[in-house]
Structure 1
Amino acid sequence: MAIREILEVPDPRLKTVSTPVTEFDDELRTLVDDMFETMYAAHGIGLAAIQVGVPKRVLVIDLQPEDEDAEPEACDHDGTHHTHQPTKKEPRIFINPEILDPSEETKDYQEGCLSVPDIYADVDRPARCRVRWQDLDGKTHEEVMEGLDAVCIQHEMDHLEGVLFIDHLSRLKRKMVLKKLEKLRKVA
């Protein structure tokens, strides 16, 4: 496993439309392992292969990143004394994902992106969607997603089409976000 470099705007490769995966082999498994390691190292919750320079229709998501430094916490907010364990990892792999039946109902959610570091903006997306994808063995799965699951899968799937979350903003807001990013880079 290896941590790969995450592409950042304005890298033109982020605008690439990714190609379907046709071979479910060791090379794919290595890519997925590297993507998880890269995502966890960057403290992200999702990563598309194109973000590490590989134009394949592969995403990894983990909405429960583990805090390795977390100590179990004592808690008695409900009148009983018990201990919370650090969050467990729940890695999910989506190969050749497709969104089916997005809901007409939308939800506004503040999004960020490892390819647009330290920038957050509200994006309006379908609140629910049915997703079909393949796993590492090429087996097809389908699931209805809502809430953060739906937001995250749609955000990552946008990457497969060469779309960043800032592309959903008005031209004025996008321009302000990019200026802010430029300033942040000068300070760093």
Structure 2
Amino acid sequence: MILPIVAYGDPVLRKVGKEIDADYPELEKLLSNMKETMANAQGVGLAAPQIGRAIRLFLIDATPFAEDEDLSPEEQKVLSTFNHVFINAKIVKEEGDEWAFNEGCLSIPDIREDVFRKEKITVTYQDENFDKHEIVLDGIAARVFQHEYDHIEGILFTDKLSSLKKRLLKKKLENISKGKIDADYRMRFPNAKKK
């Protein structure tokens, strides 16, 4: 089932997610719905807060990036299989220089900005079977992970912009929260006027 994506301004996007365990109700159904929702919105990641749940869960399917000809063959290979469920994820180490990349977010349609993030990270997480993993990510894979990870920490990519950029985007962000936007997917707007 395709779920509505929560728009900028909803308090759930500012909550730090709670850890979950294997007894979380209807987890399999939730994961299936999230995958369908992400695919429908043509996203490469979707975090539980974006569908209204303040839990430490997100999905990534970065396989569409694998066809980007500007990437190295090595990075294309990594991204071609970067399709995972991340439960109770933690970043345990960040390394390298910060680099800029143009980011967008399904909760903030029609806004894209350059965001600086570390180039290499070490992360721990549990998969959908609650098996534990530790992996090292770099480049685009690290970037996508950090963006989704921020969601379960109550952080949005717009928080990482300069104060000038934030002021310039203020009206656009207010309009998104009010539903004054054309998105190609179902959304839930926190400040939309009831008809």
Q: Same fold (TM over 0.5)?
A: yes
Residue identity opposite 1:157 in structure 2: Y
Inter-partner Cα distance in structure 2 for 1:135 and 1:183 = 36
Match of 2:158 in 1: 166
The TM-score normalised by the length of structure 2 is 0.78
Match of 1:91 among 83, 95, 98: 83
| Gaps in structure 2 of 5+ consecutive residues | 66-79, 183-195
Match of 1:111 in 2: 103
Inter-partner Cα distance in structure 2 for 1:33 and 1:91 = 14
Residue 27 of structure 1: CA displacement? 1.1
Percent of pairs with identical residues: 40
For this pair of structures, how many residues does the alignment match? 167
What does 1:117-136 correspond to in 2, within 5 Å? 117-136=109-128
Describe the superposition over 1:59-87 as per-residue Cα deviations: whole angstroms up to 9, x where unpaired.
Answer: 10001149xxxxxxxxxxxxxxxxxxxxx
SS of the aligned residue for 1:54 comes to coil
SS of the aligned residue for 2:95 comes to coil
Inter-partner Cα distance in structure 1 for 2:57 and 2:159 = 21
Residue identity opposite 2:108 in structure 1: V
What does 1:12-161 correspond to in 2, within 5 Å? 12-24=11-23, 27-65=26-64, 91-161=83-153
The TM-score normalised by the length of structure 1 is 0.81
| Gaps in structure 1 of 5+ consecutive residues | 67-87
Asked if the contact 2:82/2:141 (under 8 Å) is kept, the reply is no
Residue identity opposite 1:175 in structure 2: R
Residue identity opposite 1:51 in structure 2: Q
Structure 1 range deviating more: 150-159 or 165-174 = 165-174
RMSD over aligned Cα atoms: 2.2
Distance 1:128 1:187, change over 3 A: closer
Residue 182 of structure 1: CA displacement? 4.6
Residue 55 of structure 1: CA displacement? 1.1
Inter-partner Cα distance in structure 2 for 1:27 and 1:36 = 14
